[in-house]
Amino acid sequence: MSGSQVFSGGQVKNAGNSHFQEVTIFMSMFFRTENNLVESFFRVEIPDCLFLCILLLYVLFSLDIATTSMILSLGGYEVNAVMVPVAGSYFFHLLLKGFVLVLVGLTALWSEGKIPGSGLVMILVIIGWYSLVILNNTSVLIGLCRMAPSCPPAIPVL
C-alpha cells in the first residue's frame, strides 16, 4: 500500500500523505463498523488552544496530587469529603484524576463541536478553580512546614 492510499471498510481509497491518515488506516483495520464510526472518531482535530488548556489541566492535576500527598505526609488532612477515600492512596488518586481529565477533555471536545468556544470556556473555568486549589494547598504546605521540624528552612525573599 503506497502513501497515497487509505484502507477503509475493506477498500483502498486514494488520499493525501499524512500521519493522521496512517493512524486512521491502522485503527480501521482492527475496528471496522458498518458506517465507519471509529474512522470518523479518530479524524477529530483538537484546536491548539483547547489542547494547551487540557495540557495545563494535566499539570494542575499533577500538582494537586503532589501537594495533597505532601500535606498528608506532614500530618495534614484532606478537606474535600469526596476525595478522602482516595487521597491516602497515591495510585487511586492518580487513577481518579486521570479519569476526570479524560472525561473533561472528551466533554470539551464534544461541546466545542456543538457550540464553538464552549469547550474552551469550560476548561478555562476548571483551570481557574484548580489554580485556586493549588494556591490553597501551597499555603497549607507553607503553614505545615513552619510547624514541622523536618522541613527545610525557608529561603528569604529579596
Neighbours of 110 (CB within 10 A): 12
Q: Where are the domains of the chain?
A: 5-41, 48-147
Q: For residue range 105-138, list pLDDT tens digits in order.
A: 999 988 988 899 999 999 999 999 999 999 999 9
With contact defined as beta carbons under 8 Å apart, do 118 and 112 qualify?
A: yes
Q: Residue 110 belongs to what H/E stretch?
A: helix 90-114
Residue 137 neighbours by CB under 8 Å, 6+ apart = 63, 64, 67, 68, 71
pLDDT tens column, 52-68: 999 999 999 999 999 99
Report the distance separating Cα 70 and Cα 48, nearest Å.
33
The arithmetic mean of pLDDT across residues 40-59, rounded, is: 78
pTM, 2 dp: 0.66
Give the Cα separation of 39 and 32 in Å (integer): 8
